[in-house]
A = this chain, B = another copy of it.
Amino acid sequence: MDVLHLRRDQKDWRAQTRVIALKNRLNSGERRLPACRSRQLAETGNWRRIELRAQKCCRQGCRQLQAGSLCSPSHDALRGVLSSPCRPCFAQRGPKVTIDMLMGNYHIAVVGATGAAGTELLRVLERRNFPVASLRAIGSARSAGKSVPFRGESVPVEKLDDRCFDKTDIAFFSAGGDVSRNYVPIACQSDAIAIDKSSAFRMEPHVPLVIPEINADDVRRHRGIIANPNCTTTVMLMALYPLHRIFHVRRVFAASYQAVSGSGTRGVEELTRQTRDAVHGPKSRTKPGSSTSPEATADKTIPASVPPKTRIYPHPIAFNLLPHIDSFLDSGYTKEEVKMQDEARKIMHSPALRVSATCVRVPIYRAHSVAVSAEFQRPLSVEQAREILSKAPGLELIDEPHSNRYPMPLTVAGKDNCQVGRVRLDCAFENGLSFWVSGDQLLKGAALNAVQIAELL
């Protein structure tokens, strides 16, 4: 058994593991040490273990990784487990591997812990009993000093700095592209694996972009960073990929209907404030029921002449639509729209796929929806499509239009699964299918997907 027992002082050990990690990053031909390696390097009493067998196991895809190596709480318990045969890792754990067995091993950092996505991430970690040994909630200087709830405790929010990722196994980044660009490399240098929600590294060739139901195997290629796809792309692909596997998609037209929580808590606050101002009149006014009230609006069916105050969006979002998400490119598409094509190509390994998207912010709180028309290489029927979609992982088929059953933001919000419906043969494509897919963009589009990625490690 290739198990090394090394007695070192902590400083030496950390220096050495950092050198190993850096070497791995520099050597493009070799894979970076996987998460379980980092975890194994964590202290167990005064001894640190490097379990080579587990590492090899993990390089085969984390599938044969010994459960014991992941979670044994003590030196003695680990020693006993190491001699036992391989068991599936917790991402694929069977019912016999209890949560208690698996709990308590990952040192986690959540960057952007007070934001909409970060808050949701903490809930998902808790709800899925993710094995968290320790949690560091990290936020901006503005959030430092606040606290976030986790497993019944109050976790203080630390200010983001270079030392935040010491002794961290997995760092979830949910604080936007700039923070990720600056701090993901620092987290990697601290030997953490970064699971990044931002678009900063998504299209880097050596960074896997992963939706576990679609391309879980890509996780194995990581060298310290794994990217979480764009939320709208994820929602679309959850329905498109199962069909693509069988019929091979060539071309997609997509129009999105995106909720304000996609812009974070400030987007939610903006819609709330503007809606309330429309009902009451803005606070600065003395008279309630002024011209911005929905009642006035209802009478005239003309929106308010006095525009509400805007902070996040360039225009009012309450009772309005903004065909503008992320910044505009010279092509006339927005970055968000281009992501729909680029990320779909990478995730589904379909470099020739063409996706023309229009992304629109709509005045709803939560869950993104996408109207999709897709052209496939192979002919397909609605019955085949429905059968495939009904069996697809992470997806629910809600398609009884004559009973008024179809996916809607209000019914999919808060749910792990995306929902697909309105499935019909497309009348403008040969071998085409149209459908409507909705998904909670804070769950499957962000937090849930990130935790699912972590579960693959």
Contacts and interface: CB of A to CB of B under 8 A. Distances in A.
Interface stretch (A4-12, A42-50, A195-203, A300-308): A300-308
B319 A410 contact: yes
Contact of A365 (B301, B360, B406): B301
A358 B269 contact: no
A247 interface: no
A364 B261 contact: no
A18 B272 CA distance: 59
Interface string A308-342: 00000011100111111000100111100000010
Nearest to A307: B410
Contacts of A272: 294-295, 297-298
B408 A302 contact: no
A298 B409 contact: no
Main DSSP-derived SS at the A contact region: mixed
Interface of A: 116, 120, 251-253, 255, 257, 261, 265, 268-269, 271-272, 275-276, 278-280, 294-295, 297-298, 301-303, 307, 314-316, 319-324, 328, 331-334, 341, 354-356, 358, 360, 362-366, 369, 371, 373, 382, 401-402, 404, 406-411, 413-414, 421-429, 432, 434, 436, 438, 442
29 contacts: A251-B428, A252-B428, A253-B356, A253-B428, A255-B255, A257-B360, A261-B301, A275-B275, A276-B279, A276-B294, A301-B442, A302-B365, A302-B413, A303-B366, A303-B410, A315-B404, A321-B369, A321-B409, A321-B438, A322-B408, A323-B436, A324-B406, A332-B401, A332-B424, A355-B428, A356-B429, A356-B432, A360-B369, A362-B362
